[in-house]
Structures are given as structure tokens and as C-alpha cells.
Structure 1
Amino acid sequence: MDLIVNAVVGLLVATQYVYSSAPCCMPDKFESHEYVEGRILQATHFETANMNISFDFTSKKAVGFRYNIKTDGKVLPPMYTLVDYESGFAYVVQNNKCTKSAAHGKMQRACIPEMFKMVKTTHFGAGSEMLPVHKYQSNIGNSTGSITVTAKNCYYISYGGYNSQRPTEGLRGEVFGITLGIKDPSVFSVPALCKKTADPQDILEYQAGKFHPFV
């Protein structure tokens, strides 16, 4: 199972819950880029990846395309994930193979989980280029998670997490290049490969939970 999937699930699984009083939320339609890295499994494995995100709460679809995936320096094939809550299916394409499974639960908006509380207001840059930000944090048992967003519109900037009982392990993600709306709606089309070869079965990477806040 993907290392970063395992690591980030513990931090961001709260994004599966209904947000009755979420601190703030991302727009209903956006696209972004992301960089994620994590050291887990007793700090013996280090994984990094880049990701392109397309998120459309209106049409109930989300896409993530991971590339530059490296585990301990070994390059892995890119991975495309489409979760179509409207049809009720999720698709994962990697290494010229498509796997299909049920899309679990209902799609939620990309919000700060309720259990996260604001702990700091600060800023990046200075002067006319100053960007005010809010940092939210959650502490559950030995685990600590943090999410930093822009103060004005709740655009995600970064997130991370660690467990005090396993201090050599941890993860962090950086979100950048956010644009509003969906540039090309065809990004949510089911890949041709999946129409030909997809068979219902368990997708461990997907069933484990969302490995980042959006997909």
C-alpha cells in the first residue's frame, strides 16, 4: 500500500465527516498542485510525490494525478485517481492498469475539519506582498496535525502531522498554484482504459481513506 496514503490518512480522515460548523472551506470548484513527502514505518521509508488536483463539489467529482512518485529513491509509475460520487464509483489507473471500486460515502466540501482549532495568525512576505494566514491544529492522543490556510479565503497552503511516540516519522504537504473553477471538465471523464478493463474490486489506496484533503 502506498506509504503516503497510510501516513496522511490518520491526519486528514476527518475530512470525511459532515461539516456542520467547519472553521472555513475552500471554494466548491478549484484546481491546484501539491507536493507531499512522508517518512514512515519506523523512519525506514521516505516517499515524495507531486500531484495535480481537480475538485468539483457541484458535480460531485474529484481527480488526483500523482507523478514524480519516489519511495526511497525508487521511481514509481504515475497514478491517476477519479472519484465520481455522482455515479458511485472510483477509478485508479497506474502502470497501464485500471481498477474500479465503489465510491464510499458522500462527497464533502474541502473544509478545515471541526476538530482543528486556530492556534496562530501570522503572515508570509511583507509590505504590499504580505499574505495573512491562519494556522489550525488538532491533537488526538499522541498525534498532532496542522493545516495552514490564507486568512481571507481559506485557500490551503500547507499541512503536516506527526506522532510524539514516533518522532522520526512525519509528513508534510504544500499546496500551491490554486486556480478557481475547472479549466477542462473532461478531466472528470472515465479513462478509456477503465471502460474496457475495469472490474469491481477493492482498491486499498482508496479504501484506506483520503491521502490529502481533497481527493
Structure 2
Amino acid sequence: MFRQIICLIISVLSVLHQVFSRQSCCIPKQWTGVATQKLGRYDHDVDVASLADVITHVAYSYDDRKISLQQEVYNITIGFKEQVHVIYEFKEGIQYIITNGDYCISYPLGGDMWSGCVPDNATHLGTYNISGPVVDIYRVASLGGGIIRYSVSNPFCYPTTESLLTPGPVYDLKVSVYENVTEGISDPSVFKVPVFCHHSQIKKKYISSTIAELIHSAFSWR
């Protein structure tokens, strides 16, 4: 069930490229930040619910076609903590998931890396002041039929907030707040794949109604 917690975060990554901007606005080609997230999943068919708190250190480099997500996951449902490091290597077409620094699974990636620019089908909901910062808020439909609502800073186009809600029978809810977002990559070593990962067999994409799956798929840029 814990692996159930790790894919709300990657399903949301699947949509962040659509999420992070107003029309004519793109996130920086390289940036880092911290996302504080609440993830939940309810599978109506089996009547099982899961809830998790996640703190994710994000490093995004479009120049290198790489993304690093260093996650501290607390599965509230079963009271279990875990360290997860997800590395996307789009040039090689592989996604690595390293758990607690000693277990690695790799999966093939489909498609090219998202550029981080606002999609043409995003609806601009308005420009607002959030206790100081000015942000633009958008709504966009995800590929899986979910609805994403997100905000980016104006004028720098840094991500500030995001929420995702998907339709049933498996319902996913993710709420994220981004902090300490800065342009550039201060520590390129976060993209380094451990040697032992290269000895693992690349597995086919799996489908399950687990929260773990969510964490490995939950950033909307995808």
C-alpha cells in the first residue's frame, strides 16, 4: 500500500508542463524549489483510501532534459515514512525511482520533456495578490480527464500553488505549495543516477490504484 503513495506525485508531474504558466509565460529553463504537498487517493471499486504528506525538492533542467524529485513521504494511512528520489532522464527515455537510497526501479519514459510553457487550452482565471506576491491563476484539463488549477508568479512565471482532482472510479486529489523557487541549478549532482540503478532491469509501466503510484506521477509538468 505504501507504493500506493508514491505515484500521486508522479501523476501530477504528468501535468505540470500544462500547469505552470499564463499564455506567453514559461517557467525558467532551469530552476529549483520545494513543494509541500498533500496527496490523497480513493479507489471506489475496492473502497480503499490513502493519504500522504510529501515534501519534494524539485530540480528542473530543460537544457539537460532532466528532472530530479527528492521526496520525503509520510504515508498517514499506515504511519510509515520513506525517502524517495525520482530522476527523469528524457534523452535516454528512462525514469528511475530510488527508495531509501538502496532500492532502484526503472521505467521507460514516453515522449519528450515538457517545456514548462502555458498550454493553449489553459483558461486564465484572473490575476490576484496573495499577501504580497502577484500571481496569475489558470485552470486546465489533464490528459487523464482531471482538472488542474495552478498559479504562477507575475512577472517571473515561477510556480506558486497547484491542485489536481481526477475523475473516478479512482479519485486523486493533490494540493501543492511551492517555496524557495530560484532560477538555475545549484547542485547538478541531484541528477546523478546511482550505479546500482544501471544494473536493474527496465520494467514496463505498471498500473495500480496505489498512492505510491501517485507520488511517482504527480507533478503536472508532464
The DSSP-based 3-state class of the residue aligned with 1:64 is strand
| Equivalent residue number for residue 155 of structure 1 | 158
Distance between the aligned counterparts of 1:138 and 1:82, measured in 2?
25
Counterpart contact for 1:62–1:214, Cα < 8 Å: no
Q: 1:186 aligns with which of 168, 184, 189?
A: 189
Gap change, CA 1:109 and 1:89, over 3 Å in 2: same
Counterpart contact for 2:17–2:220, Cα < 8 Å: no
Distance between the aligned counterparts of 1:149 and 1:104, measured in 2?
27
Which digits, 9 at most, give the CA deviation of each residue in 1:19-57, with x for residues without a partner? xx9542110001111111123215832211110111110
CA RMSD of aligned residues (A): 3.3
Counterpart contact for 1:30–1:180, Cα < 8 Å: yes
TM-score, normalised with respect to structure 1? 0.79
Kindly indicate whether residue 213 of structure 2 is the aligned counterpart of residue 212 of structure 1.
Answer: no
| Equivalent residue number for residue 38 of structure 1 | 39
TM-score, normalised with respect to structure 2? 0.77
Kindly indicate whether residue 78 of structure 2 is the aligned counterpart of residue 76 of structure 1.
Answer: no
Distance between the aligned counterparts of 1:101 and 1:143, measured in 2?
23
Kindly indicate whether residue 53 of structure 2 is the aligned counterpart of residue 60 of structure 1.
Answer: no
Which digits, 9 at most, give the CA deviation of each residue in 1:42-92, with x for residues without a partner? 583221111011111001111111113324152232111111112222211
Distance between the aligned counterparts of 1:81 and 1:138, measured in 2?
25
Structure with the bigger RCO (C-alpha within 8 Å, sep 6+) is: 2
Distance between the aligned counterparts of 1:164 and 1:103, measured in 2?
24
Please give the residue correspondences for 1:1-215 in structure 2 after superposition, counting only pairs within 5 Å: 1-3=3-5, 5-6=7-8, 9=11, 13-15=14-16, 22-41=23-42, 44-72=49-77, 74-95=79-100, 96-125=102-131, 130-138=132-140, 143-162=146-165, 170-195=173-198, 197-204=199-206, 210-214=217-221
Letter in 2 for 1:179: T
Moved over 4 A (4+): 14-17, 139-143, 163-166, 205-209
The aligned length equals 205
The DSSP-based 3-state class of the residue aligned with 1:186 is helix
Distance between the aligned counterparts of 1:121 and 1:13, measured in 2?
25
Distance between the aligned counterparts of 1:79 and 1:203, measured in 2?
18
Q: What stretches of structure 1 of length at least 5 have no aligned partner?
A: none
Distance between the aligned counterparts of 1:172 and 1:214, measured in 2?
14
Distance between the aligned counterparts of 2:66 and 2:167, measured in 1?
35
The DSSP-based 3-state class of the residue aligned with 1:154 is coil
**Identity rate, percent:** 16
Offset, 1:3: 3.9
